[in-house]
Amino acid sequence: MTASTSTTALAGRPQSVLDLYRDDGPLARAVGGALGARLRLPPLVLVAAGAAPLLAVLAVGGADVPLAAVGAVVAWTVLLGALSQGRAHDDRFAWAVPVVLRLVEYAGLLWLGALAGADAVPAAFALLAVLAFRHYDIVYRLRYQGVSPPAWLGVVAGGWDGRLVLGFVLLAAGTLPAGFFAAAIALAVVLAAESAAGWSRFARAQRPALYSDEEDENQ
Amino acid sequence: MTGGYTETTPAALDAPAAARARGRSRRPSNGRAGGAAATATGLLLATAAADEGGPAAALPWGDGTLLRRLLEQLADLGVRRAHVVCRPQWERELRPSADGLGVSLELHVSAGPAEDLRIVARLARAARGATVLAHADIVTHREALAGLLADPRIPTGILATGGNIGQPFVQTTRTMRGRTVSAASAYHAVDAPNAGFLGVVKVSPDDAPVLAEAAERLASLVEGPLPPGWEGELERKRAAWRRWLAAARTADEDDGPPRFAAGWLADAEAGAAAGEDVALTADEESELARRAAVAPADVVSLLLVGLVRAGTHVGNSYLRRLFWARPLSREGVAEAAERITEHDEHRVLLESAVKANDGFFTTFFVSPYSKYLARWAARRGWTPNAVTLVSLVIGLLAAAAFAVGDRAGLVAGAILLQIAFTADCVDGQLARYTRTFSKFGAWLDSVFDRAKEYAVFAGLALGASSAGDDVWLLAGCALTLQTVRHAVAFSYATAHREAIGGVRQPPLEQPRDASDRRLRLSASGPFAVTEAVAPADPRPAPAPASRGRSLLGELPVRGLAAWRVIDRLPGARWVKRMVAFPIGERFAAVSITAALWSPRVTFVVLLAWGSLALVYGIAGLVLRSLSR
C-alpha cells in the first residue's frame, strides 16, 4: 500500500462495491474517516484483530462474562472494524473484510442475546433474519438493478457498528429481548417499504444492469 | 434500457410448443420478438469468397442461399434492416436473397478489409438501436441466435462456444465471470483461451460509438503496412492449423476431432523453430488455403478485439448443443445441411433451461423432472414470477408445519419443503425456457430463497421448543453460518470482477493480449474447458508462467494447479459441488433429518456440513488470492 492510496482514503475515496457490502453506520464512518488513514495496515488485519477477542470468548463458551468485559469486547470489535473503514480496500484479501464484519455482527448479536437469557435468543434470531434481508438486498439490488439501496437507509439501519453498540446498551439496560424485537419490527417495516419503493422507481426508469446466473446463487 | 430491450418481453420465445398448446390464435410470429430487437440492425459481412468463386453467402441452401437463411432467422428475431458488405460484382448474386422476406436490404460494395471497416464505422455511427454484426455465411440454428439477440441481460455480447466443435479456424476468446476479457483475430492472440467466437456480435446503442471508433482505428491499421508482429501472428496461426489438420486426420473416430486449444499455437511455434515439417493431403491443403485466405479479411473478429481492447463489457451467449458452421464451399454446405438435422432445437432449448452449474442433488434429483414441469408451466402460460410466489407460499407452509413440532408436522414440513424447492427450480428453468427474464423476478427469486430457508429455521426452532427442546441458539448459528458463507461468495466475486475490470487492455497494435495474472486465474463456470487436456492431446497444459516468483510465492500457484488436477478426476466435480453444500443439498438435509430425527439433528448437520463447506471454500479462495 502506497502513501498515495492512503491520502485518497483520507479525502474520501470513491465507494467501491466492497464498501457497500461492509454496511457501515455513521459511527464507523466517523471513526474510520478521522483515524483510518493514520493506520497503515490492510483493512483485513484491522477487522481480524477486532474480531479476535470476540471469537476467542465465543470459542470458550461465552457464558458468565461480566458486563464490563462484554462492553470491552464489543468496543474493541467496533473500534478496529471502524478504523478499517478508512482504509482502501484494494489489496488481494480485501474481499474477506465484509465477510469478517458480517461474522462479528451476527455472532456478536447472538452472543449478546444469549447473555440476556434463553428467552432473548428468539429475539436475536428475529433481528438477524431482518438484517439478513438488508444484507442480501444490498447485493441483489446491485446485481439486478445496477444501483444500491440509498445511503440514508444505511444510516437509519445503524450499520453493523451501531447495531452492536445498541445490542450492548440493551443488554446493560436489561431490556434486550423487547429491544431486539422492536428493532427487528421497525427495521423490517423500513426495509420492506424502501425495497418496494426502490423497485417501483426502477420499474419507472429502466436502468441497464448486467447480471448473469452465478455460482454465488447456488450456495 | 440498453439494447432497446424492454424488461419483461417474453422475448423471441421460440417455444412453438407453448404457443401451440395454448390453442388460441398466437400472435403473429413477427411480433414474437416483441419490442425487443425491433430496432436492431443487421450488419453482415459477405466478403468471404466461396471455393467455386462468388460470395460464400450466396452458396445455395434449399431454394435460397446461406444469406437468405440467415436474414430469415434474423427477421424472425426482429432485425428488419440489414446492411450487407460485399466485394465488387457480388451484388447481383446477393440481392435476390432478401426477396419477399420483409427485410430492407442495403448492399455496400467494398474492395477490402479497410473499406469494410470504414463502412462498419459509418453504419455504427448512424445506429439507433442494437447492431448485430455477423458473417453473412454462417449456418446455425435460429435458437443459437435467439440466445444472444433476445437476452436482455446481454446488452453487448457475442455468440460463443466453450465446447469442442472441431473448428480450429474459429477465433478464440478468454472469458471470465461472464465477460470476454480477451479476443483473437488473424493478427491478435489470446494468451489462455477458454472459448471460441462464432462470428456474431450484438452491440448495444451505448457501445455503438466505441464500435465505430474501433472500426476507424482498425481501418487505418490494416490499410498501410501492418503493425509489427501482425504477420507473425497470422503465420503462427497458419502453422497451428496445419498441425491441427494433420492431427484431425489421425484422430480416433469416437473421440471426434481434437480440441483446438492454446497448446496448438505453442506447439506449432516450437515445431517451426525445430524446422519440423507437417505434411497435409491435397484436400487438407486446400482447406488450409481457404481458411488462411479468409482469416485476414475477418473484420468481425477484428472488431471484437477492438471492442474488448476498448474496455467494453462484452458478454457471452453460448451455442450449447446446437449446430454452427461456416462452410465456404458447396461441399461444406452439404455437410452442414446434413449435420444440422442431427440437432433437436427444442430439445436443446429445454435441456439448456437447466442451469449448468447446479449442485448434485438439484441436477440428479430435481432437474430431470422439473424441466418438464417448466415446459408444462410454459404451455399453461404461467409466468416465472407466479411460480416464484407459489414456491414461497409452499415454503412458508413448510415452516408452519415444522413449527407444529410433532412427527406428523415434521414429515409434512419435509415434504412441503421439497415441493417448494422443486417449484424454485421450475421458476428459473421457466424463465430460461421462455426467455422471460425480469430483473425484479430474479431479485424476488433470490430473496424468497433466503426467506424460505430462514423461515424454515424459525419453524424448526419453534417446533422444537413446543416439544421441549430449545434450539434457538443453534438456529441463530445456522443462519449466521449461511449468511457468512454467502458473504464470502458475494465479496470474492465482486472483488474479482473489479480486478478484471481494472486490467489495462493493450493497444490494438499489439498482437499479444494483456497477459495479466488476474486474467489467468480461476476461470470458472461450465465452459472453463481449455485448461483440461484434450483426449487427443496427451501433453499437459502449459503451466502458468512463474514470472520470477520465489519458491514460497510459487506454493499457492502449485496448490491451485493441484486443485485443478483433482477437478479433472472423474466424479470429483460432483464431490466438490456436494462439499460446497449448495441449496439443493441443504434443503434435502433439512427434510431428511427433520422427518427422521429432530430439529436439533437438523441444525447440527447444517452446522457441521456448512462449516466444512466454509473452510473448504475459503481455502480455495485464499489460494487464488495468494497466487494473484
Per-residue model confidence (pLDDT) at position B4: 31
Q: Which residues contact B193 (CB under 8 A, 6 or more apart)?
A: B172, B173, B174, B182, B184, B261, B262, B530
| 8 Å CB contact of B479 and A114 | no
Tell me the chain A residues in contact with residue B492 when contact means C-beta distances shorter than 8 Å. 95
First to last CA, chain B: 36
Cα B315 to its chain centre, rounded Å, is 8
The helix (run of H) or strand (run of E) holding residue A30 is helix A26-35
Per-residue model confidence (pLDDT) at position B157: 95
Q: How far is B452 from chain A (nearest CA, A)?
A: 11
pLDDT tier, B524 (very low <50, low <70, confident <90, very high otherwise): very low
Chain segment A85-96, per-residue pLDDT in tens:
988 888 889 999
The number of C-beta contacts closer than 8 angstroms across A and B is 162
Single out the residue of B558, B545, B549, B554 nearest to residue B515, CA to CA.
Answer: B545
pLDDT tier, B279 (very low <50, low <70, confident <90, very high otherwise): confident
Tell me the chain B residues in contact with residue A214 when contact means C-beta distances shorter than 8 Å. 177-178, 493
The grid coordinates listed for B525 are 463456470
The grid coordinates listed for B117 are 471497416
pTM: 0.81
Q: How far is Cα A33 from Cα B102, in angstroms, rounded to an integer?
A: 62
Tell me the chain A residues in contact with residue B357 when contact means C-beta distances shorter than 8 Å. 213, 215, 218
**What is the number of other CB atoms lying within 10 angstroms of the CB of residue B520?**
19
Chain segment B339-390, per-residue pLDDT in tens:
888 888 788 888 878 777 778 888 888 888 898 999 999 999 899 999 999 9
pLDDT at A213 over 60: no
pLDDT tier, B264 (very low <50, low <70, confident <90, very high otherwise): low
Single out the residue of B285, B282, B253 nearest to residue B166, CA to CA.
Answer: B253
pLDDT tier, A4 (very low <50, low <70, confident <90, very high otherwise): very low
Cα distances from B270 to residues B265, B266, B273, in angstroms, run 9, 6, 5
Q: What are phi and psi of B65, to 5 degrees?
A: -130, 175
| 8 Å CB contact of A218 and B470 | no
Chain A nearest-CA residue for B353: A213
pLDDT tier, B272 (very low <50, low <70, confident <90, very high otherwise): low
Whats the size of chain A, residue-wise?
A: 219
Chain segment B419-459, per-residue pLDDT in tens:
999 999 999 889 888 888 888 888 999 999 999 999 999 99
Per-residue model confidence (pLDDT) at position B362: 87
Single out the residue of B97, B101, B29 nearest to residue B63, CA to CA.
Answer: B97
Q: Where are the beta strands (DSSP E) in B87-178?
A: 104-109, 131-135, 139-140, 157-161, 172-176
Per-residue model confidence (pLDDT) at position B569: 73
Single out the residue of B56, B312, B306 nearest to residue B185, CA to CA.
Answer: B306
Single out the residue of B413, B407, B366, B404 nearest to residue B590, CA to CA.
Answer: B413
| 8 Å CB contact of A219 and B582 | yes
| 8 Å CB contact of A209 and B313 | no
Q: At residue B375, what is the residue type?
A: R
| 8 Å CB contact of A212 and B442 | no
Burial of B505 (0-12, 13-18, 19+ CB in 10 A): middle
Q: How far is Cα A93 from Cα B483, in angstroms, rounded to an integer?
A: 19
| 8 Å CB contact of A218 and B496 | no
Q: How far is Cα B173 from Cα B196, in angstroms, rounded to an integer?
A: 5
Per-residue model confidence (pLDDT) at position B502: 81
**Least confident residue range of A99-103, A136-140, A201-205, B231-235:** A201-205
Chain segment A89-127, per-residue pLDDT in tens:
888 899 999 999 999 999 999 999 999 998 899 999 999
The grid coordinates listed for B568 are 479433472
Task: State the greatest distance between any 2 C-alpha atoms of chain B, in Å, as a whole number.
Answer: 89
Q: How far is Cα B30 from Cα B467, in angstroms, rounded to an integer?
A: 61
Tell me the chain B residues in contact with residue A106 when contact means C-beta distances shorter than 8 Å. 476, 479-480, 483-484
pLDDT at B521 over 60: no
| 8 Å CB contact of B583 and A219 | yes
| 8 Å CB contact of A99 and B486 | no
Pair A209, A140: CB distance under 8 Å: no
Q: How far is A68 from chain B (nearest CA, A)?
A: 23
Q: How far is Cα A81 from Cα A44, in angstroms, rounded to an integer?
A: 9
What's the mean pLDDT in B462-469?
91
| 8 Å CB contact of A93 and B451 | no
**Least confident residue range of A20-34, B278-292, B538-552, B563-577:** B538-552
SS3 A216: helix
ipTM over 0.95 threshold: no
Minimum-distance CB partner of A136 among B177, B359, B450: B450
Cα distances from B622 to residues A89, A91, B26, B528, B616, in angstroms, run 16, 13, 54, 20, 10
| 8 Å CB contact of B206 and A92 | no
pLDDT at A17 over 70: yes
pLDDT tier, B586 (very low <50, low <70, confident <90, very high otherwise): very high
Q: At residue B131, what is the residue type?
A: T
pLDDT tier, B625 (very low <50, low <70, confident <90, very high otherwise): confident
SS3 A179: helix
Q: Where are the beta strands (DSSP E) in B565-619?
A: none
Higher-confidence residue of A207 and B54: namely: B54
pLDDT tier, B261 (very low <50, low <70, confident <90, very high otherwise): low
Tell me the chain A residues in contact with residue B177 when contact means C-beta distances shorter than 8 Å. 212, 214
| 8 Å CB contact of A212 and B479 | no
Minimum-distance CB partner of A102 among B487, B581, B622: B487
Query: In the 8-state DSSP scheme, what is residue B363?
Result: I
| 8 Å CB contact of B479 and A121 | no
The grid coordinates listed for B233 are 501472428
| 8 Å CB contact of B480 and A140 | no
Single out the residue of B517, B519, B529, B526 nearest to residue B497, CA to CA.
Answer: B519
Q: How far is Cα A80 from Cα A122, in angstroms, rounded to an integer?
A: 29
Single out the residue of B626, B524, B513 nearest to residue B262, CA to CA.
Answer: B513
Pair B51, B330: CB distance under 8 Å: yes
SS3 B451: helix
pLDDT tier, B520 (very low <50, low <70, confident <90, very high otherwise): low
Single out the residue of B278, B276, B188, B270 nearest to residue B241, CA to CA.
Answer: B278
| 8 Å CB contact of B313 and A210 | yes
| DSSP string over B146-209 | HHHHT-TT-SSEEEEE-S--S-TTSPEEEEETTEEEEE--SS---SS--EEEEEEEEE-GGGHH
What's the mean pLDDT in B150-173?
84
| 8 Å CB contact of A215 and B524 | yes
Cα B97 to its chain centre, rounded Å, is 31
Percent of chain B with pLDDT over 90: 47
| 8 Å CB contact of A211 and B155 | no
Q: Best residue in B427, B429, B443 to probe A by mutation, most A CBs within 10 Å?
A: B443
Q: How far is B509 from chain A (nearest CA, A)?
A: 29
Single out the residue of B382, B379, B364, B478 nearest to residue B423, CA to CA.
Answer: B382
Tell me the chain B residues in contact with residue A206 when contact means C-beta distances shorter than 8 Å. 1, 6-7
Q: Which residues contact B126 (CB under 8 A, 6 or more apart)?
A: none
Query: In the 8-state DSSP scheme, what is residue A205?
Result: S
Per-residue model confidence (pLDDT) at position B448: 95
Per-residue model confidence (pLDDT) at position B252: 63
pLDDT tier, B1 (very low <50, low <70, confident <90, very high otherwise): very low
Q: Where are the beta strands (DSSP E) in B449-531?
A: none
Single out the residue of B132, B167, B135, B145 nearest to residue B298, CA to CA.
Answer: B135
Rounded to the nearest integer, the mean pLDDT of chain A is 86
Whats the size of chain B, residue-wise?
A: 628
Cα distances from B228 to residues A111, A210, B113, in angstroms, run 65, 37, 18
Pair B67, B84: CB distance under 8 Å: yes
Burial of A102 (0-12, 13-18, 19+ CB in 10 A): buried
| 8 Å CB contact of B524 and A121 | no
Q: Name the β-bridge partners of B49.
A: B55
Chain segment B193-241, per-residue pLDDT in tens:
888 999 999 999 999 999 999 999 999 999 989 999 999 999 888 888 8
Tell me the chain B residues in contact with residue A213 when contact means C-beta distances shorter than 8 Å. 355, 357, 428
Chain segment B538-585, per-residue pLDDT in tens:
333 334 444 445 666 677 777 777 776 776 677 777 888 888 899 999
Rg (CA), chain A: 18
Chain B nearest-CA residue for A216: B489
The grid coordinates listed for A128 are 438477524
The position carrying cell 461441399 is B331
Per-residue model confidence (pLDDT) at position B86: 94
Rounded to the nearest integer, the mean pLDDT of chain B is 82
pLDDT tier, B166 (very low <50, low <70, confident <90, very high otherwise): low
Minimum-distance CB partner of B495 among A95, A135, A214: A95
What's the mean pLDDT in B495-517?
84
Pair A157, A24: CB distance under 8 Å: no
The position carrying cell 441497464 is A208
| Helix runs in B182-341, H state only | 208-223, 230-250, 262-273, 282-294, 299-309, 330-340
Q: Best residue in B452, B494, B517, B606 to probe A by mutation, most A CBs within 10 Å?
A: B494
Q: How far is Cα A183 from Cα A165, in angstroms, rounded to an integer?
A: 13
| 8 Å CB contact of B491 and A122 | no
Q: Which residues contact B473 (CB under 8 A, 6 or more apart)?
A: A110, A114, A121
Q: What are phi and psi of B40, to 5 degrees?
A: -70, 145
Per-residue model confidence (pLDDT) at position B39: 77
Pair A127, A49: CB distance under 8 Å: no
Pair B496, B177: CB distance under 8 Å: yes
The grid coordinates listed for A15 are 465507494
Pair B500, B519: CB distance under 8 Å: yes
| 8 Å CB contact of A145 and B7 | no
Burial of A205 (0-12, 13-18, 19+ CB in 10 A): exposed
Tell me the chain A residues in contact with residue B1 when contact means C-beta distances shorter than 8 Å. 206-208
Q: How far is B480 from chain A (nearest CA, A)?
A: 6
Q: How far is B587 from chain A (nearest CA, A)?
A: 11
Instruction: Taking the CA atoms of B203, B209, B215 and B218 in sequence, report the sign of the dihedral they define.
Output: negative
Chain A nearest-CA residue for B502: A90
Pair B302, B120: CB distance under 8 Å: no
Q: What are phi and psi of B256, to 5 degrees?
A: 75, -175
Q: Which residues contact B250 (CB under 8 A, 6 or more apart)?
A: none
Tell me the chain B residues in contact with residue A129 when contact means C-beta distances shorter than 8 Å. 454, 458, 479
Per-residue model confidence (pLDDT) at position B546: 41
Q: How far is Cα A36 from Cα B96, in angstroms, rounded to an integer?
A: 70
Cα B418 to its chain centre, rounded Å, is 30
